[in-house]
Amino acid sequence: MPHSDSLILTLVGAFVLAFVFGMLALRFKLSPLVGYLLAGVAAGPFTPGFVADAELAPQLAEIGVILLMFGVGLHFSPQDLMRVRKVALPGALVQIAAATALGWGLGRLMGLPDLEAFLLGFALSVASTVVLLRALEERKQVKTETGAVAVGWLVVEDLVIVIALVLLPLLVKAKGAYDPVAVGMSIGWTLVKVAAFVALMFVVGGRVLPWVFVRIAHTRSRELFTLGVLAIALGIAYLAYAVFGASFALGAFVAGLVLNGSALGHNAAERAMPLRDAFAVLFFVSVGMLFDPTILVREPLAVAAVLAIVLVGKSIAALIITTLFRLERRASFMVAASLAQIGEFSFVLAAVGMGLGVMSRQTHDLILAAALLSIALNPFVFKLADLLAGKAEARAAAA
């Protein structure tokens, strides 16, 4: 396609196809995320018809990741997490470890190197907050204690991913290095810079950013306030990347955390929502563009094994953990169903792995196949969880 038309054609194709496939997904009682991913497949180079600019789409997706992480920071509530920390914190960490170990074992059986096998397992271990919140809203369980445990669990997973996105480039640099002292110093120096950035944001940014937003709010201009939210999210993300050597995602997340505690944090979240949603759609479409659907035919056993880890392995791990913490039976099954899918941060991790050269296209496609199928099957997993919970409660009552 002509270079001068690349941006507008990519945007038009992405949004139109995402709308059409998103509506079709809702019609079939599926998550719109499935539709957005399928829109990307339709616009990608592996299917006939319209092909979007494969070089431009990832850059637009990067903006989607920044705004996604900014939104996670804006909505992160330490108080809610502390309320369910006794179950959510150890539960999430143990479940991540269990799923990562299963994925690593599968990867090694498939002949993958250790680091790639580890990334496969790690990507399969984290569930989608977007999918979970949509499921809880449909079941009217967002404000319940069980919903709080499930959301807190996924918040811990999101925090682990944020840390992983910081450490992964360092691990890749350390791979194959022969001087452990130099590697240790490099990792230590990077962590010092990241800590300096976080400290600067909370000490200086915690005072400056709220003051800036108050001044913008005094203009009584909705456009300027929205523009200010976007400029601060993208600007701080770039500052973290260019000056402190951190990732765009970490910078945006910390910016959201800082604004979360300010008086105008709620307004900032409302203004960022439409922009975040629009670019998040571009993110999912660009992920779909990278997916080669023929892997479902070429490697059906590998796809089935990866999907089994997501649907069965993670669910059983969650059931065991919540039972040990004496969560009531129905709540245990609900948390297990919530985790039986993977989504946006699995895509981010897979994309970073490919960018660093430590993940192959086939492993990337396996993760995307598991995401598409697990998100599509998640409503049915919830129905199965309700059925099993009802039988378990009936047996307990009869005993």
- What is the DSSP code string of 202-261? IIIIHHHHHHHHHHHHHTT-HHHHHHHHHHHHHHHHHHHHHTT---HHHHHHHHHHHHHT
Dist. CA 77–CA 355, nearest whole Å: 32
Dist. CA 330–CA 313, nearest whole Å: 19
- What is the DSSP code string of 307-335? HHIIIIIHHHHHHHHHHHTT--HHHHHHH
Number of domains in the chain: 1
Write the pLDDT tens digit of every residue in 318-332. 899 988 888 888 888
Helix (H, G, I), strand (E, B) or coil at 372: helix
* pLDDT of the residue at 153: 85
Closest by CA position to 254, among listed 188, 205, 187, 190:
205
Q: Which two tokens stand for residue 346?
A: 């699995």
CATH number, residue 384 = 1.20.1530.20
Q: What is the DSSP letter of 342?
A: -
Closest by CA position to 306, among listed 348, 368, 259, 355:
368
Low-confidence residues of the chain: pLDDT under 70: 1-4, 76-77, 80, 142, 174-180, 182-183, 261-265, 399
Write the pLDDT tens digit of every residue in 234-286. 888 888 888 877 777 778 888 887 777 666 667 777 777 777 778 778 888 88
* pLDDT of the residue at 304: 94
The model carries a pTM of 0.80
**Burial letters for 231-261: b for 16+ Cβ neighbours within 10 Å, e otherwise?**
ebbbebbebbbeebbbbbbbbbbbbbbbbbe
* pLDDT of the residue at 297: 92
* pLDDT of the residue at 300: 92
Burial of 31 (0-12, 13-18, 19+ CB in 10 A): buried
Q: Name every residue whose Cβ is closer than 8 Å to that of residue 179 and which is 6 or more positions away in sequence.
A: none
Domain of residue 88, residue span: 3-398
* pLDDT of the residue at 1: 45
* pLDDT of the residue at 286: 82
- Amino acid (one-letter) located at 102: L
Dist. CA 298–CA 94, nearest whole Å: 33
